[in-house]
Amino acid sequence: MRESLSSDAAANALLVCGDAEDCKLIVDSLTSLAIQPQVCEERFRATSLLGSLKFEAVIVDARLGEAASYIMNKFRQSPANHRAISFVITGDDHGDAKTSSTFVLQRPLSAASITRTLRAAYGLMVRERRRYFRCPVTVPALIRIKGNPEEVPCDTVNISEGGVSIHSPVLVESSVPQAMRLRLPGRSSQLATETSVRWRSPDGLVGLEFLNLPASQKSELQEWLAQKLEETLPESVAALFRSIAPSI
Q: Give the rounded percent of residues in the chain with a pLDDT score beyond 70.
A: 88
Tell me how far apart the alpha carbons of residues 117 and 113 are, in angstroms, rounded to a whole number. 6
pTM of the model: 0.76
> Where are the domain boundaries for CATH 2.40.10.220 in the chain?
135-227
Domain boundaries 135-227, CATH class: mainly beta
pLDDT in tens, 82-106: 999 999 999 865 445 556 778 999 9
pLDDT of 247: 52
| Least confident window among 109-113, 131-135, 173-177, 234-238 | 173-177
pLDDT tens digits for range 192-210: 999 999 888 888 899 999 9
Range(s) within the chain of domains with CATH label 3.40.50.2300 = 11-132
Residue 217 vs residue 7, higher pLDDT: 217
CA–CA gap between residue 44 and residue 51 (Å, rounded): 11
Domain 11-132: give its CATH architecture.
3-Layer(aba) Sandwich (3.40)
